[in-house]
Structure 1
Amino acid sequence: MDLYLKDSVAVVTGGSKGIGLAIARTHLDEGARVVVASRTSSPGLAELAGPRLVHAPADLTDPDAPARVVARAVEEFGGLDILVNNAGGPPPGVRLPRFSFGAPTDADWLAMFEFNLFSAVRAVRAALPPMLERGGGSIVNVSSGNARQPGPMNVDYSAAKAALNNLTKSLSEEFGPQGIRVNTVSPGPVRTAWWTDDGGAADILAAHVGADRDAVLDEVAPEMMNLTTGRLVDPQEVADMVALLVSPRSASTTGADMVVDGGFLKAV
């Protein structure tokens, strides 16, 4: 299926690994020109190097960074059609999960909202003018199933993602009549570095439940989260949904929350 993304200009935040890298790769495969924002590059991003890819080094918790990234896209490719706010999860230097409301401090809450909400707010603020100049565009905010199904773990993360969902609805209402569609994609647990890095979620849960990390990744985590598919989500599965949402083939989809979660959410 042709998604009609050839020569479109996309900014993907947090695009050096995991979901973001899969999103960047998929956009390139569809013929888009892509600016990836991340603090550092990665071997996976280096493999995508070419004239249609620009890496814009950025710490997205810096209030000025999102605007610089958008400006880079306009400078390099002449405008902006797509913004994917993928950067999120544990702020730099933070390991999750945390197991109770009492675990995060005020500083932890602030850092979580800076990374998962305010960076997206600032990126959208910067992206709207060049999108409006081109007559429209598409914004996808990568949220989480935890926004709609919170629990005692990672309460600050869940709250930040719930706020991102609310923001998305508000933006879709205000800017939809001007040709800008805004949606969320809500993954469940995705097999990324967040889980698999040394000291990451798999190791933390393994210590908590008395299992080894491979068992956590393959069995314990899917069982704990009651995943219908019995496995963690693959990053490419999320990237495919994002690509469909930003495509003109989804021209009547706005204000929606598209779930890619292995059956994590059970509510109607």
Structure 2
Amino acid sequence: MPNDLPDSIGFIQANVSTPEGTERIIKETLERLGGLDILINNVGGSSSSTSGALSLSDDDWLQAFNQNLFSAVRLDRGFLPSMIKQQKGAIIHISSIQRRLPGIMTMSYSAAKAALTNYSKNLATQFGGDGIRINTVAPGFTETKAAERLIERMAQNSGIDYNSARQELMDNLGGIPLGRPAKT
């Protein structure tokens, strides 16, 4: 951290897919800042099999829900009290188009993102009167390293090449007007 930055600015390294990781972030943030005005929950992804329901273990489901839903639930629970006290705040959950497009490719991920979207709507209804805005954003397909690994798993499971699997994924997402995903 550069010396000219205030002590209140910094990076807290933790695994938000675990209760211990979210607790660390909540504790250190509240100690440093006293609360938050804006919380963006942008953790997500899946490394599960793309072969469907029978290939997913309990651990696969738990990993998907811990990463894509419970990380947000735990952080919200930790930061909402200070937002309620301030009578203001904003929480943004990054969901996925897959929340509405269930398919066997990423079944546990799709289910977790659907749950996140529903949870967000419930949270917005509950805390809107306290001056807290809760929104869900579902960005289009972005070809990240994790997405590339998903495409590779799809290609392997289907016995097709990478580019065909990539096109199949884009088609399953309802098509992409630009004809290509966003890049990071």
TM-score (norm 1): 0.60
The one of 95, 116, 137 equivalent to 1:164 is 116
Conserved in 2, the CA contact under 8 Å of 1:101 and 1:153?
no
Q: C-alpha deviations, 1:115-142, integer Å up to 9, x for none?
A: 1111111100001012123221000111
CA spacing shift, 1:170–1:229, aligned 2, 3 Å = same
Distance 2:10 2:18 in 1: 20
CA spacing shift, 1:224–1:70, aligned 2, 3 Å = same
The answer for the alignment partner of 2:160 in structure 1 is 210
Distance 2:86 2:135 in 1: 19
Distance 1:128 1:224 in 2: 36
The answer for the alignment partner of 1:66 in structure 2 is 22
Runs of at least 5 residues in structure 1 that lack an aligned partner in the other structure: 1-45, 236-268
The answer for the alignment partner of 2:146 in structure 1 is 194
Q: Segments of 4+ in structure 1 off by > 6 A? A: none
CA RMSD in angstroms, aligned pairs only: 2.6
The alignment of Structure 1 onto Structure 2 pairs a total of residues equal to 180
Distance 2:151 2:109 in 1: 17
Conserved in 2, the CA contact under 8 Å of 1:165 and 1:184?
yes
The answer for the alignment partner of 2:42 in structure 1 is 86
CA spacing shift, 1:212–1:172, aligned 2, 3 Å = closer
Q: Does 1:107 align with 2:56?
A: no
AA partner of residue 109 (structure 2): Y
AA partner of residue 58 (structure 1): A
The answer for the alignment partner of 1:228 in structure 2 is 177
Aligned-pair CA distance for 1:209: 4.6
Distance 2:143 2:31 in 1: 34
Conserved in 2, the CA contact under 8 Å of 1:189 and 1:232?
yes
Distance 2:126 2:168 in 1: 43
Q: C-alpha deviations, 1:30-81, integer Å up to 9, x for none?
A: xxxxxxxxxxxxxxxx9xxx55742111112221322321232232234211
Aligned-pair CA distance for 1:233: 2.7
Q: C-alpha deviations, 1:152-185, integer Å up to 9, x for none?
A: 2211111111111111011001100101000111
Aligned-pair CA distance for 1:108: 1.3
- Determine helix, strand or coil for the equivalent of 2:135: strand
Conserved in 2, the CA contact under 8 Å of 1:87 and 1:116?
yes
Aligned-pair CA distance for 1:229: 2.1
The answer for the alignment partner of 1:35 in structure 2 is none
TM-score (norm 2): 0.84
CA spacing shift, 1:141–1:56, aligned 2, 3 Å = same
Instruction: Compare 226-235 and 130-139 and name the one that shifted more.
Output: 226-235
CA spacing shift, 1:159–1:223, aligned 2, 3 Å = closer
- Determine helix, strand or coil for the equivalent of 1:54: coil
Conserved in 2, the CA contact under 8 Å of 1:223 and 1:230?
no
Distance 2:170 2:98 in 1: 15
Distance 1:140 1:97 in 2: 28
The answer for the alignment partner of 2:129 in structure 1 is 177
Aligned-pair CA distance for 1:224: 4.8
- Describe how 1:1-268 pairs up with structure 2 within 5 A: 51=6, 53-90=9-46, 95-96=47-48, 98-196=50-148, 200-207=149-156, 208-212=158-162, 217=166, 219=167, 221-225=169-173, 226-234=175-183
Identity %: 36
Conserved in 1, the CA contact under 8 Å of 2:105 and 2:154?
no
